[in-house]
Structure formats: structure tokens, C-alpha cells
A and B are shown apart, each in its own frame.
Chain A
């Protein structure tokens, strides 16, 4: 090799534009149905009302950030209970693991927002610019009035959908009718306009421009999805043993070599939204949507050959079929059982915790400066801050009791006794002073217990704390 032979090497592969072709069939129908249901839910949910009484938002689903509350129908979540979101995320993750172990990339192919909105945007593109061949031709044309018109129309509709999408997202965080009114009349806050613009922009960019690039380069999920698969997982597969060697349909009658069922029409490749050729085997870019199955089945039916050359099957079954052995689906496997058990466990814990959760929460914090003071009669005094969260709508009165040290005495600032009142749906902050004779303390830190009791429901909340004193 001479110096002049060396060629520049680039690590960057330029995007090859994909023109997915229209297709009809079983999986396409499922995808339309799923898309309809999901988008319907997404756009309609913020408009559902749920009467919670006066002065409380009546939106069924609302994350009220300024008000520090999240409402899900009859469930009300306080910031202190944000762990419920962690539970939901865990359920989501294990749900995804289970679905993937059973049915492969059903999430990617049918329900992922990126897939759903890209599908919708592709529908718009096909409706305005025509199907695959027309779009390829249009993109090759020099810029003219017709081309500019079509492109403007497409991007206009895309932006409109993106705006509706971004707007609907903001409605989950604001009262929907109010937001729409304020948005239209120019009275919404700059933060609201900013966030709607942000979600509109990202929807437009991701679903309109980035499309399969998100699945192939940005999304982490394809990278570790293969860890959820095994040979029994249902996947979009090509029956290589039946299809190869492939050849043109005309070459068949000519005799000579024996050809497989695949006629190399390339339709499975053309309909793929991520530009995959499934005949090359399992690959990261395949989102398992099954559109290639629909395309191939159509072709097989037309040329009078058995369908399901590309099919939804497990790798184990494919190996069995190739060897002419019986194939059988097996959904109950240690892996799937484990995922299901974890889901059941987390789900049960969540339901149990939601059903029995206390609507009284207390946080207790000891003063750090000074840790303790000596009073003029020699007693030791400690100061504490107490926050009592009254999560019901009615005002409540609580009694504070302290135990753990004999002769310990309690004083609540601003209160004659140990009773404090907290209005409904709010947090009461109190300062509490405890003092005890130095002789009653055995150590520089004595454990005590502070118990708050609701005077009406007699619900209690106990907290361990320490009483600090001089070193002995």
C-alpha cells in the first residue's frame, strides 16, 4: 500500500432516507386500532372531569405542580408520597420485560409513542405526497411550485399535529379548558407557551424528521432488549429454510435450479418503517411491527404460495420447522414466571399501600444549633420542629405526646397545652420544646418517642427521636 492509496475512513454513516410503502393486512390493522385507542386516550384524558369538592381541581388526571398535588381520579398524591411514581415506573419496567420476553418487541412496534406518532406522520406524508414511488420521484424533482406546495402542506399538517400533541401534554399539568382559553387569547404564561413550544418542536422533529433514527441511534431500549429475549420469544422471523435460495418469479418455470418461496420482490424491505431487510436475520433496527409479514403474505397469496414466509414465531420453532420437527409455543417459562411474579408483588404492594395509607404524616426535626441548652434550674432543654401533614379536607386537632424519659415536659410554642390544630389539606408547622432534669438523662443522647394522635379519628403517627444532653 502506498501513501496515495490510503482512503479517508469515516465513522459516520450518512442517513439513508427511508420511504415506507403502504401495506394492508393483519398487523397493519392492529397497528391502526392501537394507534386510534392510544391517541384517543392521550387527547381525551385531560378533558375528563372528576368532582372533588370546592376549591379543588376537578380534572380527573392532573399533576398540579404549583399546588404540589397530583390527582388520579380518586387518588390524591402529595409530594411526600412521590414513591408511588417509583412504583409505577417499576411496574412499567417489569411489564415491558414480561411483554418482551413473551412477544418480543410489541412495545416498540405497536405502542411506543415514537412509533405511534411516526406512523401518524407517515400517514399524513403518504396522504399528501403519495406512496413510496411518488415520494421518491418527488424528492428527486427540482424545486418547483408543486413540490413546494406539497412540502409546505405536509409540514403544515405535521406542525398542527405536533401543536395538538404538545398542547395536550401541557393539559396534564394545567386545567385543560382554562389552558386552551388562555392559549388562544394570549393570556397563558410564558412558561406555558415555552413548554408547549418545546413539546411541539420535539414532536415535530422526532416524529417528522428523526423517525427511525430515534429507534436505531437514540433509544437505549433496543440495546438491552436482547437480554429479555430467549429462543422461545415470539419474534418477526424469516423462514430462511423455506425461502432460500430466492429468485425472480419468472426464473421458476425455466427449470434448472430449484428455488425457494422468496421471489426477492423486496416488498418486505420497502414497507419497513426502519428500513430493515428481515431476511438478513434478527437485527437491532427491527422494531417487530410485523408490516413485512403483511406485505409478504399479500405477495405469497398473489403468486399462489403458502403464506407466512415471514412470520411471527420463536427462533426455537423456526429451528424445529426447518428440521421438520413439531413446533410448539411455550409461554410459561422461568423467565416469564419471574417477571410476572415481580409484577404481581409490586402491584400488590402498591394496592395494599394505597388502600391503607395514612392521611396523617409527620416529620420531626431536632434543632441543630444549639443541640441543647441548660436552663437556670439545671434542667436540659431541646428544641424540635414538627410538620404535621393533614391530608384530608377536614380541619383536625392533634395531641402531641412524648415518652421515653421520665419527667420529660413538653411545651408547644403558641399553645397552652399539647393540642395543635391543622386546617384541612395543609401542613402545620410547630415548634416544640422538651425539657428534662439532667438527672433523668443516662447518656448524652437518650431515645424518645413522639406520638401524634388525631383527636377525631384516633389515628396515630409515632416517631423515634433523641433527646440530647451534656456528655456524662
Chain B
């Protein structure tokens, strides 16, 4: 029997392996550690037998317990829906005005509507309806299409300038410059008139000429005093709140070739109760009328 060598400092046996004068000591793993390791291996093997585990080309092994985490999820989701049913049932039968009058349904709708809004609407309108460039703020009191609950619901359901839905809100401002309805001088004049409405400095002579152009071309939609028309979706030009930038260059560009924002219809994508909840939520953000 070969003599066992022991390390001088620790008294541990060496394995006989040596690299560059460094000898490997034989410190085996503790038995309890190995036992835990073997137990984990056995557990792991058992797991792959009992539960879905191995992928294959056409699916995966199902496991002999028949467990499925998707099924689990659907069960939980159904249970959650069942718990909410006492509210959602009433929301489905009531109109948005009645919902906002009921303290319980209002609280439920505000919480649920916020979730719906953050998931579907916040991408354009911002979290909390703060608005993003080119997308209107929903937290102020300036409503292009009206800020009553019914108006908001109509907008949510059918969208704006959405070609797929005949009930969608439609309004198109003519491209006065591009289509040759106004010449460059007239556009410059009417721009000056709009600038005068914002309280900024303006050229009085051009503004007076512009007022005339405005009266002939713009009053039909924007109204005598440029206060807008919610029926037509013509924004007020006097409110100091601008969906697009509120400066001279932006006005001129808009009159020349206006931008037309589009909002999709949510009817069909969101269930009826969710549409009502998000309507109540949007109405609560600050500017509902």
C-alpha cells in the first residue's frame, strides 16, 4: 500500500496530484452536502416526470399529473372576474352618467379605468392624460369634441378620423395653401390674425386683412369669435391651449397643410364595461364637463 502523504500545515491527505509544485488536498464535500445534492437530482428527475418539462418538435411532455400553468392562470382569472362581477354587471346595464353618480361604481371604474387607460391610451395621451406632442391633453378643460361623459364615450368607442368606422368623428380642415384656396399673402395675413388671438405681438395691418380672410374661410367651422365648434371638432383658437405648437410658423404650416390626428376605435377591442370605465376615468382626469 502506497504511503499516504499529508499536508504539513493542515494535516489533510493529498490526492497525489501536483501542478507546478502545488499539491491538491483531498477535502471531499461534506456528506450532508452530497445528500442534499442527490436529493435535488432526484427531485429534478421526478419533476420532469410529474410536470410539463421537455420540449419536443411538436410540443412538450405533458407530465403525468396533467398540471398546466396556463389552465391555472385561466382559473385564477375567471375567479377574479367572478369577484368583480357584482360591479361589472351593473356597469354593463347602466349608462356612463349613472355610473359616475354611484359612489361604489365610480370608485371601481376609476381604479379599473386607470388600468385600461395606462394599457391602451397612455402611449399617446400620456400617463394621467398629460398629453404628448400632437396628442391632446386630457387633464385640462379644453375639449375639441366635447367633454361630457357621452362625448368622451362616443370618442372612445368610434375613434377620430378612423376610416374603418362610419360612426367615427370626422372633420378635415382644408389644406388652404397646398390646394390653392388661399395665396401666400392671405395665409400670412390670417396667420397674423390667429397670432393676435394668443396675446402675442402682431402686425396690426396684416391682422385686419387676416380677419377678413378668416371671416370668409374659417368662421364656418371655428366660429365668429374663433371659439371653436365641438359639433364639428373645430378647436377653439382663443383658449391658449394648442394641440400642436402655438407659434406663428406652426399656424402658417397648419393653414397651408393641416395635420389631422387619428384615434382608433376601441369598440370591439375593449369590452363594453371597460369602455365605460375608461370613459369615467378620462372624465375624472380634470377637464370633464
Give residues in A with beta carbon < 8 Å to B: 1, 3-4, 6-9, 367-370, 373-378, 381, 383, 413-414, 421, 428-429, 431, 433
Contacting pair B286 A381 (CB below 8 A)? yes
Q: Does B100 contact A (CB under 8 A)?
A: yes
Q: Which of B5-13, B33-41, B59-67 contacts A (4 or more CB under 8 A)?
A: B5-13
Q: What are the interface flags for B86-121 relative to A under an 8 Å C-beta threshold, 1 for contact and 0 otherwise?
A: 000000000000001101001100110000000000
- Highest count of chain A CB atoms <10 Å: which of B111, B131, B141, B241: B141
Contacting pair A376 B127 (CB below 8 A)? no
- In the bound complex, residues from chain B placing their C-beta under 8 Å from that of A378 are 240
Partner of B103 from the list A369, A375, A414 (CB cut-off 8 Å) is: A414
Contacting pair B10 A369 (CB below 8 A)? no
Q: A3-B6, A6-B7, A421-B103 are in contact. Are A381 and B140 (CB under 8 A)?
A: yes
When C-beta atoms are compared, the residue in chain A nearest to B238 turns out to be A376
Residues 252-289 (chain B) with a chain A CB within 8 angstroms? 284-287
Q: What are the interface flags for B1-26 relative to A under an 8 Å C-beta threshold, 1 for contact and 0 otherwise?
A: 00001111111100000000000000
When C-beta atoms are compared, the residue in chain A nearest to B128 turns out to be A369
When C-beta atoms are compared, the residue in chain A nearest to B140 turns out to be A373
* A394 to B137 CA separation, bound complex (whole angstroms): 41
Partner of A369 from the list B130, B140, B239 (CB cut-off 8 Å) is: B130
Contacting pair A370 B8 (CB below 8 A)? no
- Highest count of chain B CB atoms <10 Å: which of A367, A370, A374: A370
Could you tell me the distance in whole angstroms from the C-beta of A397 to the nearest C-beta in chain B? Answer: 12
Contacting pair B137 A6 (CB below 8 A)? no
Contacting pair B128 A368 (CB below 8 A)? yes
Q: What are the interface flags for B136-147 relative to A under an 8 Å C-beta threshold, 1 for contact and 0 otherwise?
A: 010111100000
- In the bound complex, residues from chain A placing their C-beta under 8 Å from that of B287 are 373, 375
Could you tell me the distance in whole angstroms from the C-beta of A330 to the nearest C-beta in chain B? Answer: 50
Contacting pair A374 B241 (CB below 8 A)? yes
* A246 to B287 CA separation, bound complex (whole angstroms): 94
When C-beta atoms are compared, the residue in chain B nearest to A372 turns out to be B139
Partner of A383 from the list B100, B139, B236 (CB cut-off 8 Å) is: B139
* A370 to B7 CA separation, bound complex (whole angstroms): 71
- In the bound complex, residues from chain A placing their C-beta under 8 Å from that of B174 are none
* A42 to B271 CA separation, bound complex (whole angstroms): 53
- In the bound complex, residues from chain A placing their C-beta under 8 Å from that of B241 are 374, 376
Could you tell me the distance in whole angstroms from the C-beta of A431 to the nearest C-beta in chain B? Answer: 5
Q: A369-B130, A370-B130, A381-B286 are in contact. Are A4 and B140 (CB under 8 A)?
A: no
Could you tell me the distance in whole angstroms from the C-beta of B58 to the nearest C-beta in chain A? Answer: 34
Q: A375-B141, A376-B241 are in contact. Are A8 and B11 (CB under 8 A)?
A: yes
19 contacting pairs across A/B (C-beta < 8 A)? A3-B7, A4-B6, A6-B6, A6-B7, A6-B11, A370-B130, A370-B137, A370-B139, A373-B130, A373-B286, A374-B140, A381-B139, A381-B140, A381-B286, A383-B139, A383-B285, A413-B284, A414-B103, A428-B107
- Highest count of chain B CB atoms <10 Å: which of A367, A369, A413, A429: A413
Q: Shortest 3 CB-CB distances between A and B: which pairs?
A: A370-B130, A376-B239, A6-B11
Could you tell me the distance in whole angstroms from the C-beta of B33 to the nearest C-beta in chain A? Answer: 13
Q: Does B126 contact A (CB under 8 A)?
A: yes
When C-beta atoms are compared, the residue in chain A nearest to B141 turns out to be A375
Could you tell me the distance in whole angstroms from the C-beta of A23 to the nearest C-beta in chain B? Answer: 35
Contacting pair B127 A369 (CB below 8 A)? yes
Could you tell me the distance in whole angstroms from the C-beta of B210 to the nearest C-beta in chain A? Answer: 22
Contacting pair B8 A1 (CB below 8 A)? yes
Q: A374-B241, A376-B142 are in contact. Are A429 and B107 (CB under 8 A)?
A: yes
* A130 to B96 CA separation, bound complex (whole angstroms): 79
* A373 to B140 CA separation, bound complex (whole angstroms): 6
Contacting pair B12 A8 (CB below 8 A)? yes
A414-B103, A429-B110 known, 8 other contacts, Cβ within 8 Å: A3-B7, A3-B8, A7-B11, A370-B131, A373-B139, A375-B140, A414-B101, A421-B103
- In the bound complex, residues from chain B placing their C-beta under 8 Å from that of A9 are 10-11
* A368 to B129 CA separation, bound complex (whole angstroms): 11
Partner of A374 from the list B110, B240, B284 (CB cut-off 8 Å) is: B240
* A66 to B234 CA separation, bound complex (whole angstroms): 52
- In the bound complex, residues from chain A placing their C-beta under 8 Å from that of B286 are 373, 381, 383, 433
* A9 to B100 CA separation, bound complex (whole angstroms): 77
* A162 to B284 CA separation, bound complex (whole angstroms): 56
- Highest count of chain B CB atoms <10 Å: which of A377, A378, A431: A431
- In the bound complex, residues from chain A placing their C-beta under 8 Å from that of B100 are 414
* A375 to B8 CA separation, bound complex (whole angstroms): 85
When C-beta atoms are compared, the residue in chain A nearest to B110 turns out to be A431
* A421 to B130 CA separation, bound complex (whole angstroms): 29
- In the bound complex, residues from chain A placing their C-beta under 8 Å from that of B111 are 429
Contacting pair B128 A367 (CB below 8 A)? yes
Contacting pair B6 A376 (CB below 8 A)? no
